[in-house]
Structure 1
C-alpha cells in the first residue's frame, strides 16, 4: 500500500510504503511529483518504507527508475526512511545511479529525514 504523506514542507513530496506494493499503486506517486516540479522546478522526495524488499514488485522498481529519469536534472534530495536493512543496503549501493543526493535514515529519524530532504529546519506538523 502507498500513502501520500501530508503536513510536510511545501518543497517536497513524501510517501509511505507498507505491505505489498504494486506498480498500480506506485503510479499514484507520479502526479504528486509532477505537481511539485510545476510548483518548485525541483524535487525533494521522502520515502518511508515499512515493508520488506520482497514486497516491492518488479513493476515498482521499473516505475521508480522511470520516475528518476523523467525529470533527471530536477532531483535535489531523496531521503529513504526505513528500518529494513536490505532496503538501506540497496539504496546505499545504487545511490550513484539516481539523480540528486540520496541519504538513508532509520524510522526513528523521521523528523531529521524531513529536515534534510527539504533543506529546512522547520518542524513537521
Structure 2
C-alpha cells in the first residue's frame, strides 16, 4: 500500500509504503501525485519511506515505476529513501547511478534529516 504524506512543498512527492505495493497503488496514488507535481514544476523530488513491514512491489507496480522514471528522466532533482530494510537500502544504492539527480538513503532513525534534505533549497 502507498500512502501520500502531507506537509511537504508542492515539488516534493512524499510517500510511505507498507505491505505489498501494487500497480493499483501506483495508478491511484503515486502516479496522480507525481503528474500533478510535474505539471507545476520543472524538477520534482521524491521521498520514499518503506517501513519494516514492506513486502515489495508486484510486477505491475515495478513496470509503472520504471515507466514514470524514464518518461521524466531529467526532471528528478532529488530522491530520499528512508528504510531499515536491508535489501531496499542495497537496491537503492545499487541503482542510484541511474537517477539523474541526487539520491540519498537514510535509516528510519534519521527520517527527520531526510525530510529536511528533501525540502531544503538546492
TM-score of the superposed pair, with normalisation by structure 2:
0.88
Query: 1:79 maps to which residue?
Result: 80
Q: Distance in 1 between matches of 2:43 and 2:71?
A: 12
Query: For residues 25-104 of structure 1, what are the structure 2 equivalents within 5 Å?
Result: 25-27=25-27, 28-51=29-52, 54-104=55-105
* Alpha-carbon distance, 1:51 to partner: 4.8
Q: Structure 1: which 5+ runs fail to align?
A: 121-125
Would the aligned equivalents of 2:81 and 2:104 in 1 still touch at CA under 8 Å? yes
Aligned length: 120
Deviations 1:65-101 (A, max 9, x none): 1111111111100001111011000000011122311
CA distance in 2, matches of 1:107, 1:68: 24
| Counterpart Cα distance in 2 of 1:60 and 1:40 | 24
Unaligned runs of 5+ in 2: none
RMSD: 1.6
TM-score under structure 1 length normalisation:
0.87
